Amino acid sequence: MNNNTVKKPDYVLFNKQTRAFIYNLQVNAVQRMLDFDYAAKRETPSVAAIINPTGSDGYSKFFFGPREVLIPVYKSMKTATEKQPDADVLINFASFRSAASATMEAFEYPSIRTVVIIAEGIPERQVKELIARADELGKVIIGPATIGGIVAGQFKVGNTGGTIENILESKLHRPGSVGFVSKSGGLSNETYNIIALNTDGLYEGIAIGGDRYPGSTLLDHLLRYEKNPEIKMLVCLGEVGGTDEFAIVEALKTKKITKPLVIWVTGTCAKAFTSEVQFGHAGAKADAEMEQADAKNDALREAGAFVPNTFDDYDKLIGEVYNDLVKQGVITPAPEPEMPKMPVDYKVALKEEMIRKPTNFICTISDDRGEECLYGNKTISQVAQEGLGIGGTISLLWFKQLMPQYAIDFIEMCLVITADHGPAVSGAHNCIVASRAGKDLISSLVSGLLTIGPRFGGAIDGAAQMFSQAYDEGKPPAQFISDAKKNGVNIQGIGHLIKSTHNPDKRVTLLKEFALNNFKATPVLNYALEVEKLTTAKRDNLILNVDGCIGISFVDLLRNEMPKEEADDYISMGALNGLFVLGRSIGMIGHHLDQKRLKQGLYRHPWDDIAFLDN
């Protein structure tokens, strides 16, 4: 018994009010059905709900034309039928192992009248049991091994008819006058195109499935079409194997079928083979003479069906029969409605270059749109395989080019040298305090990083800017020092609380020696060393410090590897402070983990018996 508001005639399985359950989460099939619904101008989606036995109750989001809709998802069929009593079709996408049991369960719910079984390979014994049970209860089975069916402009089963583009091309978004039935789903889709080209289009099409024992036969659907006043002519495709087509012969002879029928039984090529032939479908095998395609075609022709001489003439014969019906006034072609405009998914449109959209952000250093992310023009695999390391990665991501090996080595040296300078410096101190207060790693690290500025790490950029500007202006070192004093400005990169000419900073020594021995040229560094001679002559701790040496050396490095204007842009951006931030982050994370180990009493390293105490 169907619970639709208006009861359908017994010859109608699907109409514009039909709603269905989809068994198993078949996202593409559901969306194709909803796209068809929108093109057919249905008021409500044809999918009432999804039954997902391995999931949980909820909703799944789909498009209905340009707007999004929520389709209910139920774990059990019982819940689905209770919540959606108007749905009388189950489209069963279960596997061949569970399709029979799911179908048998569906039979127990009075509201479900028609079950479409997509799976192939269901054991024949189980299919026979399903057919017997369906007959007892007055249910209808389409399949197994079927793509389903379609009523043009009203209802579509799953993937029948293919994509929405093919639906529109085959004029399946509006009804025609032809009823079609076939075993093959693939040939059904092809025949819909043939019918669209040679008639006013399809009214209903069904693929009964290619298994040996289909739940409903070719004749079952032809007899439904015979009763349907909207269908004016019949088209059918049979196939070699079995005797179903002889039931059609008998129906023609007894006038159960009176509407003109164009039919072709495929597989006539089997006679060209010297041995037994098994075609694609389980039932497409002739075990007797009468199961041969030629025997069936001859019998159908004799019974009054329109049978072409070959499949090549199939389309022509369909057109001829249709045109005769138009001449007789049996069919009055309706005006072709305006082709519906279908929304296109954004990803599809973008891939096919149908739309353009201004970007919200622009990134020129990396690209993750391909199979593998690019750093500059190199994939991550190339970066790893070529051993570019941290220095090479920074070169690609910060400076948008792969610098020579000496530059990569210098970048890594800067990170090593700035990684840590004990627990007493402000960044490490704040990180330790935050860690001891129970803060997480990110909070502790940020607490330390926020202390970085002109008096702690931020002097890298300041030193680079001050010294490069003085050098570019041609100021003698003495004037540079004099101008800074006159303006009350400290020279960034000069001075240290502890280190002096008598107690040199080993880190600065390493940096200077590397730059002087490996850089292509060091004019700004040389200028800074001349300044240092004058400042240390006044006081021995006014030395070139780590921040200053890194910043000034990097000016030379960048100007060696790119145009001066571009190098100066990086300096003005504050890029060089990034080296200090990145390097000091390494040490701060270590301090955070150290505090966590101390709190938990974890001592696992040879030096754990030594306490580094801050007085």
pLDDT > 60? residue 541: yes
pLDDT of residue 608: 55
Reported as a pLDDT band with limits 50, 70 and 90, residue 457 is low
pLDDT > 50? residue 225: yes
What value does the mean pLDDT take over residues 559-584? 91
Q: Any bridge partners for residue 92, and if so which?
A: 23, 117
Q: Could you report the per-residue pLDDT of 101-113, keeping only the tens digit for each?
A: 999 999 999 999 9
Asked if residues 293 and 266 have their Cβ atoms less than 8 Å apart, the reply is: yes
pLDDT > 80? residue 199: yes
> For the chain, how far is it from start to end, CA to CA, in angstroms?
89
> Who has greater pLDDT, 3 or 97?
97
Q: Could you report the per-residue pLDDT of 334-357, keeping only the tens digit for each?
A: 999 998 989 888 888 888 888 877
What value does the mean pLDDT take over residues 416-442? 90
3 state SS of 306: strand
Asked if residues 13 and 114 have their Cβ atoms less than 8 Å apart, the reply is: yes
pLDDT > 90? residue 117: yes
Find where tokens 């490069």 sit: 468
What value does the mean pLDDT take over residues 15-28? 97
Reported as a pLDDT band with limits 50, 70 and 90, residue 255 is very high
Q: Could you report the per-residue pLDDT of 401-410, keeping only the tens digit for each?
A: 999 999 999 9
pLDDT > 60? residue 3: no
H or E element at residue 21? strand 20-23
Q: Residue 244: exposed, middle, or buried by beta-carbon count in 10 A (0-12, 13-18, 19+)?
A: buried
Of 221, 281, 591, 592, which residue is the catalytic one? 281
CA-CA-CA-CA torsion sign (387, 391, 396, 402): negative
Find where tokens 């439904």 sit: 224
Which residues have a Cβ under 8 Å from the Cβ of 439 and sit 6 or more positions away? Answer: 447
82-96, 270-284, 305-319: range with lowest mean pLDDT: 270-284
pLDDT of residue 186: 86
Q: Which of 154, 177, 203 is nearest to 17 (CA)?
A: 154
> Chain-centre distance of CA 83, in angstroms?
32
pLDDT of residue 514: 97
Which residues have a Cβ under 8 Å from the Cβ of 295 and sit 6 or more positions away? Answer: 289
Q: Could you report the per-residue pLDDT of 160-188, keeping only the tens digit for each?
A: 999 899 999 999 999 999 999 999 888 99
Stated length of the chain = 615
Share of the chain above pLDDT 90, in %: 77
Side-chain-facing half-sphere of 50: CA atoms under 13 Å:
26
- Strands 148-151 and 155-156 turn out to be antiparallel
What value does the mean pLDDT of the chain take? 91
Q: Could you report the per-residue pLDDT of 24-80, keeping only the tens digit for each?
A: 999 999 999 999 999 999 999 999 999 999 999 999 999 999 999 999 999 999 999
> Chain-centre distance of CA 60, in angstroms?
16
pLDDT of residue 362: 83
Q: Which of 184, 230, 226 is nearest to 203 (CA)?
A: 230
Quick check: is 502 catalytic?
A: no
Reported as a pLDDT band with limits 50, 70 and 90, residue 151 is very high
Reported as a pLDDT band with limits 50, 70 and 90, residue 262 is very high
